[in-house]
Structure 1
Amino acid sequence: MNRHDPVADLAASVAVPFEQAQAMPVSVYTSPDFLALEQDRIFARSWLCAGRADALKTPGDYLTLEIAGEPVIVLRDQEGALRAMSNVCRHRMSVLLEGRGHARVITCPYHAWTYSLDGSLRGAPAMELNSSFCKQDIRLPAIRCVDWQGWIMITLDPDIPDPAVQFADVDGLVGYLDMGSYVETFREEHRWNTNWKILAENFMESYHLPMCHGGTIGGAVKLRDMTCPEGFEAFNYHHILKDDSVPLALAHPTNTALTGEERNRTWLLSIYPSLLITLTPGYFWYLSLMPDGPDHVKILYGGGLSPDFIADPQAEAHFCALKALLDDVNDEDRGCTERVWRGMQSRFAAPGALSHLERPNFEFARWIFDKVRQG
């Protein structure tokens, strides 16, 4: 039985300077009570990513997800605008839609109440004898939803600043790549047996690359040449200058707008709490994470190409090869992060000292502590 107070454990862990930093305490990952705090104070109060806006191309296209246990629909309405709303019927509270798809109206699978794509009640059979029923007064509650740089961002919090304000420093770093113009070419959903923070931290540092990714990309990594700059309040990052071994990671030969190192710099952006983006001049890929208990994480995994490469007739063949590599890298990460979770079940599990290459992990720990300690 866990006898620790995870918040107190984390407070002590982040109270030291980075030069003395250690990994987050085990209780922060394994405690159901701590996860409940994260759901309430982080996931219910942050901007979360439901993927790329171009995944919903036409009016009626929809996807569903849960935020801190709240069922949500995201769709294109009749005017082509993005909307998010409650996925719970206003009659007997059935969940309305599942997965992804296309619908002209939203029909409850329980009693056939139907809603228009703006959330207003369109029809309710056999309700004419109830004098308290007024169709015009009933609609699905709206949830904040915006298109930020091509990402579908949603939140249950009515008061936090818009992503364009909260993540303005992201635009300052990578705005020259026009991330909003990139086109998604694949989108998948996975579920791994690890804590969501273990996977987030894995993305944030490249210290693990030579060993964890020894079968794929690890051989090209030179740890002594790496630096991890200080991050920002809402995200951390690092970047790598790529060689020509992966042509899609470089600016397209016809691109004259990018110059110097802009043409071969790969950015790794960790947008708190759980949007992880690899962005290159030619392609991008991402993970969007949702906790599913302390021991599992739901993963939205997608990616695609920049406009220059979308227009290149050879790009699809190049991207097929790249996707195969990304899948192999993802499999390696799954093995590494699931082993960390298994190791945390040991009575001997204890956090060790962090490398200078794990600065983003320490900044992430401090961000989490700042959120969970707030009432």
Structure 2
Amino acid sequence: MTRHDTALTPLDELRANVAQPFERARAMPKSVYTSPEFEQAEQRHIFAREWLCAGRADALKEPGDYMTMEIAGEPVIILRDRDGALRGLSNVCRHRMSTLLEGRGSVRSIVCPYHAWTYNLDGSLRGAPAMSLNEGFCKTDVALPQVRVADWLGWIMVTLNPDAPDPALALKDVENLVGYLDMANYQEHFRQEFRWHTNWKVLAENFMESYHLPVCHAETIGGTVDLMKMTCPEGFPTFNYHWIVKNDSLPLTLAHPSNTRLQGDERRITWLLSIYPGLFITLTPGYFWYLSLTPDGPGHVKVLYGGGMSADWCADPEASRHLDQLRLLLDDVNLEDKGCVERVYRGLCAGLSEPGALSHLERPNFEFAQYIASRMP
């Protein structure tokens, strides 16, 4: 038997990794970050099967407002239909298979940029020029395939999987934890997309642990946390979480002074919610921000980034000033994170590197590794 015959696959290495108890846990094997074959398997078995986040529901306010995304190579449109409901549609024309819409915007109907086949907001075909001489063509037989969409606590969740449990059921424990903050009524004020040179799991793990905050974010939010006041409990099959009790150095992190409903530590707890596979939410009594991740090969990740404020901070007369301060702060935080996660990926690709032991503050990372392993065939 040759050495090649006995080599472990990335999945073998990952399963051996998560078979250890957490007290002996190590970071995930390098191969699960760098292998193109493993990334393709993640697309098929995770991203094509799970609920992914397209952003906040309040970003689509009026009928015809739309956004686009790609799920495991499948172009998708999410829009408000004429009845005001969220709807997901294939973003590929049923004629010669051109993609239809790009980015975000508002339309009265969906018009193919190739031959002007036109679809209603429910996906039905409204018109197809110069098709009357094709005896096999019937307009009423043509429609864009539907894609499942759900509004979960103000988040637009999308899946290609017709059998995936509804997010309200799969993520009921999230609401049990943070329902007192009324996340559905937070308002999104900014949203952008970017692409970083790292594996998607490196960025996911970076969010899951606050162990790096005092060092990586020394110039921004590092001073608002105390490593000894971080709590990392066991997570759930569909998400992990931890929380931090913040000090008074950043007022927007805290409940608004007019808020008398929140009491005690409820007024200053920051929640970090990692919704598998790719939605990561920082939720405070004053503001929220989030990342929604999709892989782009093993060495790049596409990032949807957005955020905003709670309803009572939005009603503050100084809301615009607070929002400007938040944007500046989070832009700096993102730059710090970009540097960290891109350095980690460079290290993963180095010949002399190897995964090390995990801190007790990295329990969410170990649970994330268990989740990845559990979804692979």
Q: Please, which of 145, 150, 161 is the counterpart of residue 141 of structure 1?
A: 145
Give the corresponding residue for 1:76.
80
Give the corresponding residue for 1:303.
307
1:12 aligns with 2:10: no
Would the aligned equivalents of 1:49 and 1:154 in 2 still touch at CA under 8 Å? yes
Would the aligned equivalents of 2:274 and 2:280 in 1 still touch at CA under 8 Å? yes
Q: CA RMSD in A?
A: 1.1
Would the aligned equivalents of 1:85 and 1:119 in 2 still touch at CA under 8 Å? yes
**Residues 6-45 of structure 1: pairs in structure 2 closer than 5 A:** 6-45=10-49
1:100 aligns with 2:104: yes
Give the corresponding residue for 1:265.
269
**Residues 201-216 of structure 1: pairs in structure 2 closer than 5 A:** 201-216=205-220
TM-superposed deviation, 1:210? 1.5
**Partner SS, residue 132 of structure 1:** coil
Would the aligned equivalents of 1:183 and 1:305 in 2 still touch at CA under 8 Å? yes
TM-superposed deviation, 1:185? 0.4
Q: Distance in 1 between matches of 2:354 and 2:259?
A: 50
Identity %: 69
TM-superposed deviation, 1:181? 0.6
Give the corresponding residue for 1:127.
131
1:225 aligns with 2:253: no
Q: Please, which of 330, 333, 353 is the counterpart of residue 329 of structure 1?
A: 333
Q: Please, which of 246, 252, 261 is the counterpart of residue 256 of structure 2?
A: 252
1:343 aligns with 2:347: yes
Q: Distance in 2 between matches of 1:208 and 1:136?
A: 57
Give the corresponding residue for 1:370.
374
TM-score by length of 1: 0.98
TM-superposed deviation, 1:100? 0.7
Would the aligned equivalents of 2:225 and 2:247 in 1 still touch at CA under 8 Å? no
Query: Once the two structures are superposed, what CA deviation does each residue of 1:9-46 show, in whole Å capped at 9, x if it has no partner?
Result: 10110000000000000000000110111001100010
**Partner SS, residue 231 of structure 2:** coil
Give the corresponding residue for 1:49.
53
Give the counterpart letter for 2:132 in structure 1: E
Would the aligned equivalents of 1:248 and 1:319 in 2 still touch at CA under 8 Å? no
Give the counterpart letter for 2:130 in structure 1: A
1:183 aligns with 2:191: no
Query: Once the two structures are superposed, what CA deviation does each residue of 1:158-199 show, in whole Å capped at 9, x if it has no partner?
Result: 001100000000000000111001110000101100000000
Q: Distance in 1 between matches of 2:128 and 2:317?
A: 50
Q: Distance in 2 between matches of 1:174 and 1:288?
A: 19
Q: Distance in 2 between matches of 1:254 and 1:221?
A: 24
TM-superposed deviation, 1:4? 4.7
Give the corresponding residue for 2:171.
167
Q: Distance in 2 between matches of 1:289 and 1:57?
A: 23
Give the corresponding residue for 2:290.
286
Would the aligned equivalents of 2:224 and 2:250 in 1 still touch at CA under 8 Å? no
Q: Distance in 1 between matches of 2:8 and 2:77?
A: 38
Q: Please, which of 232, 237, 244 is the counterpart of residue 240 of structure 1?
A: 244
Q: Please, which of 100, 112, 119 is the counterpart of residue 116 of structure 2?
A: 112
Aligned length, in residue pairs: 372
Moved more, 340-349 or 362-371: 340-349
**Partner SS, residue 257 of structure 1:** coil
Give the counterpart letter for 2:245 in structure 1: L
Q: Distance in 1 between matches of 2:180 and 2:333?
A: 27
